[in-house]
Amino acid sequence: MYYGPDFGALQREDPEIAQVLLDEVDRVRGGLQLIASENFTSPAVLAALGSTLTNKYAEGYPGRRYYGGCEVVDRAERLAVRRATTLFGADHANVQPHSGASANLAAYAALLQPGDTMLAMALPHGGHLTHGSKVNFSGRWFDVVSYGVRRDTELIDYDEVRDLARRRRPKLIVCGATAYPRLIDFGIFRGIADEVGAWLMADVAHTIGLMAAGTIPSAVPYADVVTFTTHKALRGPRGGGILCTAELAAKVDRAVFPFVQGGPLMHAIAAKAVAFGEAMRPEFADYGRRVVENARTLCEALEGMRPVSGGTDTHLALIDLRALGVTGAEAERRCAAAGITLNRNAIPYDPEPPAITSGLRVGTPCVTTQGMGVEELREVGTLVSRAVRYPETADEVRERVSELVAKHQPYLSEL
Is 247 annotated as a binding-site member?
A: yes
Q: Is 359 helix (H, G, I), strand (E, B) or coil?
A: strand
To the query of whether residue 238 is one of the catalytic residues in this protein, the response is yes
Of 38, 77, 154, 203, the catalytic one is: 203
Q: What is the largest CA-CA distance in the chain?
A: 64
d(CA 329, CA 335): 10
To the query of whether residue 57 is one of the catalytic residues in this protein, the response is yes
d(CA 94, CA 109): 14
To the query of whether residue 27 is one of the catalytic residues in this protein, the response is no
Q: 160 Cβ partners below 8 Å, 6+ apart?
A: 147, 148
Is 206 annotated as a binding-site member?
A: no
Of 215, 229, 297, 357, the catalytic one is: 229
Q: 81 Cβ partners below 8 Å, 6+ apart?
A: 62, 93, 94, 95
d(CA 223, CA 201): 6
Is 127 annotated as a binding-site member?
A: yes
To the query of whether residue 232 is one of the catalytic residues in this protein, the response is yes
Closest CA to 347 of 363, 364, 377, 327: 327
Q: 171 Cβ partners below 8 Å, 6+ apart?
A: 111, 112, 116, 117, 118, 198, 199
Task: Determine how many CB atoms are found less than 10 A away from the CB of residue 245.
Answer: 15
Is 87 annotated as a binding-site member?
A: no
Of 83, 182, 238, 398, the catalytic one is: 238
To the query of whether residue 59 is one of the catalytic residues in this protein, the response is yes
Of 59, 143, 379, 396, the catalytic one is: 59
Is 408 annotated as a binding-site member?
A: no
- In terms of phi and psi (left: phi > 0; alpha: psi -120 to 50; beta: otherwise), the region of 130 is alpha
What b-and-e string marks burial along 367-378, b requiring 16 or more CB atoms within 10 Å of the CB?
bbbbebeeebbe
Binding site listing: 123, 127-129, 247
**Which residues fall in the annotated binding site for (6S)-5,6,7,8-tetrahydrofolate?**
123, 127-129, 247
List residues with catalytic annotation: 57, 59, 203, 229, 232, 238
